[in-house]
C-alpha cells in the first residue's frame, strides 16, 4: 500500500511535466480564427505545436523554469498568414530585376528602362517585368517606343500579369520572327498593316522570345530564394501555395529545406497536362510521397482554362467592348476528361479561370469529375475568378469548389480603371472581383497575391479588400464598394480559409491546441482600427512552429525565460 502511494507521488509530477510549455505568449489580444473560441489573451507552445490557448493566468500555469515568456503587452496576434496563390521563385527573382510596376506613364517607363540599361551596359539582355497596360497611350506599348529608349539592345519585358511581352527589334530577329512566321497555337504576334511584328507577343507567343533569355544561374536563384523567404516572413507569412512548378527550382527549395532555412511552409502544385505520359504521373506521385509536410508538401495540379482580360484572352460568354470573346484553352470534353483523371488519382486541382465562360467550364469539369469518380471533398479550386456570372456563384458551395481569389486584384489603380474595366464593358466591370458576393454565396474564399503579379504583403491585401481603394485612398468610397468585405473576413481568407484551401485545416489556419504554432504579432488590432490604419500597421513578430522567423527591429519587448 505504501509502495503504491509512493509510485503515485512520483508519477504525477512526471505526467504533469510533460504538459509544460516551451514558450508562452501572454497579455495579448489574440484572434484565433476558431469560431468556438475566437478571442483569447494567451497561448502556450510546446515543441512546434500549440499546447493551450486561454487566459493569461491559465497559460502562465503551464510555464516552468526555462519557459520563454513573451509578454505581448496588449498587442494583436493571429494565425500566421497563408498566401493561397503565388509564384515564389518568380517573386524572389523579381526583387532585383528591372521592375516597371508603379510606372504609370510612358515617360516613367522610359526612365526605368533607360536607368537600368545605363547601369547594366554589358548584360546581353535587358529583361524586366511588371509594366501595366494603362501606362501606354492606347493600352499597349509599341516597338517604336522601345527602340527610341534602347536602340540596338536585346530587350524582353513581361507585362505585370505575365501574359504579354514587349520585345525589341533585335529580340524579334534573334527569335527568327518575320512576316512569314505564323502565330503559335494559343498565342499571337501582333502585327502592323504591313504584317510586320509590332514587338508585342501574347500568351504562348511570349515563349518565342522568353526561351532565349538566359535564366539566372542556380546560385543566383538560391540567393534570391533566401531573400524572398526573409521578405515573406517579414510580411507575416507562414505558409504559401505555389501556383507554378520547375524542377530546377525544386532542387533549391529542397536544399534550403535540408539546411533548415525554409522560413515559410510550401504547398506545391505541378502542371496539369492533358493525357499525361506515365512517367509524368510517376514523377508527380514520387513528389507527393516524398514531400508530405510540414514544410514542403505536394498534392495539387494546376491548369489554365483561359488567359487574362487586358489582352482579351480570358474566355467570355459575351464579346469584349472592342470585340472578341477570348478562347478557352480546352474543349469542355477534354477539360472534363483531364480533371477527372487527376481527381481519380486523389489530386487537388487548381484551374486558372478568369472569364465568365472559363469559370463556368471549370465548375462543370469539377461537377463531372465528382459524378464520374464518385468523389467528394476534393476541395478543387478555381484561381482568380475575376468576372463570374452571378448565377454561377452558388455552384461553388453546391459543388464544394474553393474560390481562390487575390485581394490586390481589386486595387483600382490606373491600369484597372483605364484599361481593365473599359475592356470588360460596364456591365461586367461592375461585377468584377466580387469578394463580397462570393462570401454571400457561401463559398470558401481563400486569398492570395499571385506574387510577383502583385506584392505578397498581406496587410496591403487586407486593406484593398476592405476599402477597394488604392493606398492613396482613391477613388473616394472605393471602387464598387458593394463588394468590400470586413477586415475579419479578409483575415479569415488569409488564414483559416487558405488553410482549408490547401487541405491543411487540420494542422493550421487557426490557433487551437494541437495545431502548428504559426502566428503573427502586429503593431495594431486590425479588427478594431479604422481601415486607413491597416497600411500603417506593422508586423512585429512572425512565428513558425514556435520559432521566430522575423522580429521587427522596433520590437518593443524581449522575451524572458521564466524563473
Ligand atoms: Zn498565378
Contacts of 313 (CB under 8 A, 6+ apart): 163, 202, 203, 306, 307, 326, 327
Residue 53 grid coordinates: 490557448
Q: How many residues does the chain have?
A: 563
- C-alpha span between 175 and 172 (Å, rounded): 5
Q: How far is the CA of 25 from the centre of ligand 1 (A)?
A: 36
Q: How far is the CA of 324 from the centre of ligand 1 (A)?
A: 24
- Other Cβ atoms closer than 10 A to 547: 14
As a whole number of Å, the CA-based R_g of the chain is: 25
Report CA dihedral (61, 62, 66, 69) to the nearest 10 degrees. -80
Q: DSSP string covering 117-160, please?
A: HHH-TT-SEEEEEEE-GGGSGGGS--HHHHHHHSTTSEEEEEET
Closest CA to 150 of 178, 179, 127: 127
Sheet holding 49-54, edge to edge: 49-54, 42-46, 23-26, 68-71, 560-561
Q: How far is the CA of 341 from the centre of ligand 1 (A)?
A: 23
- Report helix, strand or coil for 244: coil
SS3 readout for 168-232: CHHHHHHCCCCCCCCCCCCEEEEECCCCCEEEEEEEHHHHHHHCCCCCCCHHHHHHHHHHHHHHH
Q: How far is the CA of 481 from the centre of ligand 1 (A)?
A: 25
Residue 50 grid coordinates: 500549440
Give the predicted TM-score (pTM) of the model: 0.88
- Other Cβ atoms closer than 10 A to 390: 11
Residue 180 grid coordinates: 512569314
Q: How far is the CA of 402 from the centre of ligand 1 (A)?
A: 16
Q: Can you give the pLDDT of all 563 residues of the chain as single tens digits?
A: 444 444 444 444 444 445 899 999 999 999 999 999 999 999 999 999 999 999 999 999 999 999 999 999 999 999 999 999 999 999 999 888 899 988 989 999 999 999 999 988 888 899 999 999 999 998 999 999 999 999 889 999 999 888 899 999 999 999 999 999 999 998 999 999 999 999 999 999 999 999 999 888 999 999 999 999 999 999 999 999 999 999 999 999 999 999 999 999 999 999 999 999 999 999 999 999 999 999 999 999 999 999 999 889 999 999 999 999 998 999 999 999 999 999 999 999 999 999 999 999 999 999 999 999 999 899 999 999 999 999 999 999 999 999 999 999 999 998 899 889 999 999 999 999 999 999 999 999 999 999 999 999 999 999 999 999 999 999 999 999 999 999 999 999 999 999 999 999 999 999 999 999 999 999 999 999 999 999 999 999 999 999 999 999 887 666 666 65
- Other Cβ atoms closer than 10 A to 233: 22
Sheet holding 154-159, edge to edge: 98-99, 125-131, 154-159, 164-167, 197-203, 187-191
Q: How far is the CA of 147 from the centre of ligand 1 (A)?
A: 30
- Report helix, strand or coil for 37: coil
Q: How far is the CA of 91 from the centre of ligand 1 (A)?
A: 11
DSSP-derived pairing of the beta strands 265-271 and 237-242: parallel
Residue 330 grid coordinates: 480546352
Cis, bond preceding 294 (omega within 30 deg of 0): yes
Query: What pLDDT shows up at residue 70?
Result: 94
Contacts of 441 (CB under 8 A, 6+ apart): 393, 394, 396, 397
- By the 8 A CB rule, do 186 and 329 touch? yes
Query: What pLDDT shows up at residue 15?
Result: 42
- C-alpha span between 345 and 176 (Å, rounded): 42
Ion ligand 1: residues, Cβ under 5 Å: 243, 450
Q: How far is the CA of 144 from the centre of ligand 1 (A)?
A: 30
DSSP 8-state symbol, 54 = E
Q: How far is the CA of 404 from the centre of ligand 1 (A)?
A: 10
- By the 8 A CB rule, do 207 and 188 touch? no
Q: How far is the CA of 41 from the centre of ligand 1 (A)?
A: 37
Q: How far is the CA of 406 from the centre of ligand 1 (A)?
A: 9
Q: DSSP string covering 494-516, please?
A: TTHHHHHHTT-TTTSSS--TTSB
Q: How far is the CA of 352 from the centre of ligand 1 (A)?
A: 8
Q: How far is the CA of 145 from the centre of ligand 1 (A)?
A: 28
- C-alpha span between 153 and 157 (Å, rounded): 12
Beta bridge partners of 154: 125
- What values do phi and psi take at 387, rounded to 5? -130, 65
Q: How far is the CA of 22 from the centre of ligand 1 (A)?
A: 39
Q: How far is the CA of 344 from the centre of ligand 1 (A)?
A: 25
- By the 8 A CB rule, do 449 and 83 touch? yes
- C-alpha span between 534 and 480 (Å, rounded): 20
Q: How far is the CA of 51 from the centre of ligand 1 (A)?
A: 36
Q: How far is the CA of 461 from the centre of ligand 1 (A)?
A: 16
Q: How far is the CA of 85 from the centre of ligand 1 (A)?
A: 6
Q: How far is the CA of 45 from the centre of ligand 1 (A)?
A: 34
Q: How far is the CA of 472 from the centre of ligand 1 (A)?
A: 26
- C-alpha span between 239 and 61 (Å, rounded): 31
Contacts of 33 (CB under 8 A, 6+ apart): 78, 79, 491, 492, 495, 496, 509, 510, 511
Q: How far is the CA of 450 from the centre of ligand 1 (A)?
A: 5
Query: What pLDDT shows up at residue 426?
Result: 96
Amino acid at each position: 500500500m505504501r509502495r503504491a502511494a509512493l509510485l503515485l507521488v512520483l508519477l504525477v509530477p512526471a505526467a504533469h511535466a510533460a504538459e509544460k510549455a516551451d514558450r508562452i505568449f501572454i497579455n495579448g489580444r489574440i484572434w484565433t480564427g476558431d469560431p468556438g473560441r475566437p478571442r483569447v489573451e494567451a497561448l502556450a507552445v510546446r515543441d512546434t505545436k500549440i499546447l493551450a490557448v486561454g487566459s493569461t493566468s491559465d497559460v502562465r500555469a503551464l510555464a516552468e523554469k526555462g519557459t520563454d515568456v513573451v509578454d505581448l503587452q496588449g498587442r494583436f496576434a493571429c494565425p500566421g498568414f497563408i498566401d493561397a496563390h503565388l509564384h515564389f521563385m518568380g517573386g524572389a527573382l523579381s526583387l532585383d530585376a528591372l521592375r516597371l510596376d508603379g510606372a504609370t506613364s510612358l515617360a516613367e517607363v522610359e526612365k526605368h528602362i533607360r536607368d537600368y540599361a545605363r547601369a547594366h551596359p554589358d548584360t546581353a539582355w535587358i529583361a524586366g517585368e511588371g509594366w501595366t497596360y494603362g501606362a501606354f497611350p492606347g493600352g499597349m506599348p509599341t516597338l517604336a517606343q522601345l527602340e527610341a529608349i534602347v536602340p540596338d539592345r536585346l530587350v524582353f519585358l513581361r507585362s505585370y500579369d505575365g501574359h504579354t511581352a514587349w520585345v525589341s527589334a533585335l529580340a524579334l530577329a534573334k527569335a527568327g520572327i518575320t512576316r512569314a512566321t505564323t502565330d503559335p497555337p494559343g498565342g499571337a504576334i501582333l502585327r502592323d498593316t504591313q504584317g510586320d511584328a509590332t514587338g508585342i507577343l501574347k500568351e504562348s507567343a511570349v515563349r518565342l522570345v522568353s526561351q532565349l533569355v538566359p535564366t539566372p544561374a542556380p546560385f543566383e536563384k538560391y540567393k534570391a530564394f533566401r531573400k524572398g523567404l526573409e521578405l515573406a516572413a517579414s510580411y507575416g507569412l507562414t505558409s504559401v501555395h505555389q501556383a507554378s512548378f520547375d524542377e530546377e527550382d525544386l532542387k533549391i527549395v529542397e536544399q534550403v529545406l535540408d539546411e533548415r532555412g525554409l522560413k515559410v511552409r510550401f504547398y506545391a502544385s505541378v502542371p496539369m497536362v492533358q493525357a499525361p505520359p506515365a512517367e509524368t504521373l510517376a514523377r508527380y506521385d514520387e513528389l507527393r510521397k516524398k514531400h508530405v509536410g510540414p514544410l514542403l508538401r505536394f498534392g495539387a495540379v494546376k491548369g489554365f482554362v483561359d488567359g487574362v482580360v487586358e489582352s482579351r484572352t480570358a474566355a467570355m460568354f459575351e464579346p469584349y467592348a472592342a470585340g472578341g470573346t477570348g478562347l478557352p484553352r480546352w474543349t469542355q470534353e477534354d477539360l472534363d476528361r483531364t480533371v477527372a483523371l487527376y481527381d481519380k488519382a486523389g489530386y487537388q486541382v487548381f484551374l486558372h479561370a478568369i472569364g465568365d465562360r472559363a469559370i463556368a467550364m471549370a465548375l462543370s469539369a469539377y461537377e463531372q469529375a465528382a459524378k464520374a469518380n464518385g468523389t467528394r471533398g476534393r476541395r478543387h479550386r478555381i484561381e482568380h475568378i475575376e468576372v463570374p456570372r452571378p448565377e454561377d456563384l452558388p455552384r461553388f458551395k453546391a459543388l464544394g469548389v474553393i474560390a481562390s481569389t487575390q485581394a490586390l486584384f481589386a486595387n483600382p489603380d490606373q491600369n484597372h480603371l483605364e484599361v481593365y474595366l473599359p475592356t470588360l464593358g460596364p456591365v461586367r466591370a461592375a461585377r468584377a472581383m466580387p469578394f463580397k458576393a462570393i462570401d454571400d454565396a457561401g463559398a470558401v474564399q481563400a486569398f492570395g497575391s499571385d506574387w510577383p503579379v502583385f506584392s505578397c504583403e498581406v496587410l496591403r491585401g487586407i486593406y484593398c479588400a476592405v476599402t477597394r481603394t488604392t493606398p492613396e485612398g482613391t477613388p473616394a468610397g472605393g471602387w464598387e464598394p458593394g463588394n468590400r468585405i470586413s477586415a475579419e473576413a479578409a483575415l479569415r481568407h488569409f488564414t483559416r480559409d487558405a488553410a482549408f484551401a490547401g487541405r491543411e485545416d487540420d494542422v493550421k489556419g487557426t490557433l487551437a491546441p494541437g495545431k502548428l504554432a504559426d502566428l503573427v504579432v502586429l503593431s495594431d488590432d486590425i479588427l478594431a482600427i479604422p481601415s486607413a490604419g491597416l497600411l500603417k500597421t506593422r508586423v512585429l513578430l512572425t512565428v513558425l512552429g514556435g520559432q521566430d522567423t522575423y522580429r521587427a527591429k522596433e520590437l518593443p519587448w524581449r522575451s524572458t525565460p521564466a524563473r
